Amino acid sequence: MVMAFFRGRGESTLDEVKGTLVSMLADGRTVFDTATDAVFGGGKSKQTKQTVRSTDQEINTAQQRVRRSLMMHSAVTTVDLPAVLAYMSIVKDAERIGDYAKNMYDLAKYGANFELAEDHDELLAYRDAVGQLIDDAAATFASQDEAQAQKLIDKADGFLTDYDHKIKAAFRSEGTADQAVARALYYRYLKRITAHIMNMLTAIVMPIERLDYYDEAPEDR
């Protein structure tokens, strides 16, 4: 809905910004895959650390570029204010996806290893689901498909509830402390990544005053 305002002069700049946001999601997927591979048996290494850090830095640079482009767009053209405000809001979400994906690597640094865990298949299934969600969100954002965006939001909203249950279960776990902490943080990071993806998708289907609420509890949105 917000993106329907993208018309007239300066549209090419806004298209470039949209393309940068899509690239940020792709880079976020790279960080996510690299970091979670480390948690699922790959372990920490200089190469993995370098990939995670350098790609995250590229995401940060892209965020700065988006903000600069939006400022220039506002200064030299007739301003599509809803578009500028929407992109200023959701670029933060794109950057945070990379940050929380990077946090996954910290679990490997601290010794977490889910490769032989009894709940390995379940842990891996949620990882794969979030990785696919990042890809689907990037494709949907590029196409501005409102129907698909709403489907993804509804699907991801169910994941948030699952993650809350998993985090609570970790607190009540009778396993070792390191196992419980690793799972609580793992599902917490998955939840935050999912919420920020949903925030980005709201820019396609919602008016600007309703953006950026999916990182809140459902009762507080």
Closest CA to 40 of 97, 125, 99, 98: 125
Residue 3 included in any domain: no
**pLDDT at res. 119:** 96
Mean model confidence pLDDT for the chain: 89
The CA–CA distances, whole Å, from 217 to 81, 96, 128, 165 equal: 28, 18, 24, 13
SS3 202: helix
- Of 133 and 11, the structure prediction assigns the larger pLDDT to 133
pLDDT at 11 over 70: no
Other C-beta atoms lying within 10 Å of the C-beta of residue 179 = 17
Of the listed ranges 3-12, 136-145, 159-168, 208-217, the one predicted with least confidence: 3-12
CATH number for the domain including 142? 1.20.58.220
Measured over the CA atoms of residue 175, residue 176, residue 178 and residue 181, the dihedral's sign is positive
Residue 179 included in any domain: yes
Residue 141 included in any domain: yes
Q: Which domain covers residue 180, as residue numbers?
A: 8-220
Most confident of 80-94, 121-135, 203-217: 121-135
Q: How many domains does the chain have?
A: 1
Judged on CB neighbours under 10 Å (0-12, 13-18, 19+), 4 is exposed
**What is the tens place of the pLDDT at every residue in 56-112?**
999 999 999 999 989 887 776 666 777 788 889 999 999 999 999 999 999 999 999
**Backbone φ, ψ for residue 6 (5° rounding):** -80, 85
Residue 152 included in any domain: yes
pLDDT at 17 over 70: yes
Mean pLDDT of 31-39: 98
Of all residues in the chain, the percent with pLDDT exceeding 70 is 87
**pLDDT at res. 4:** 44
One-letter amino acid at 160 equals: L
Buried b (16+ CB within 10 A) or exposed e, 205-221: bbebeebbebbeeeeee
User: Which residue is it, tokens 């600007």?
Assistant: 208
Dist CA 188 CA 49 (whole Å) = 21
Residue 2 included in any domain: no
Residue 1 included in any domain: no
189: tokens are: 């990071």
Distance from CA of residue 207 to its chain's centroid? Answer: 21
Residue 27 included in any domain: yes
Measured over the CA atoms of residue 92, residue 97, residue 99 and residue 103, the dihedral's sign is positive
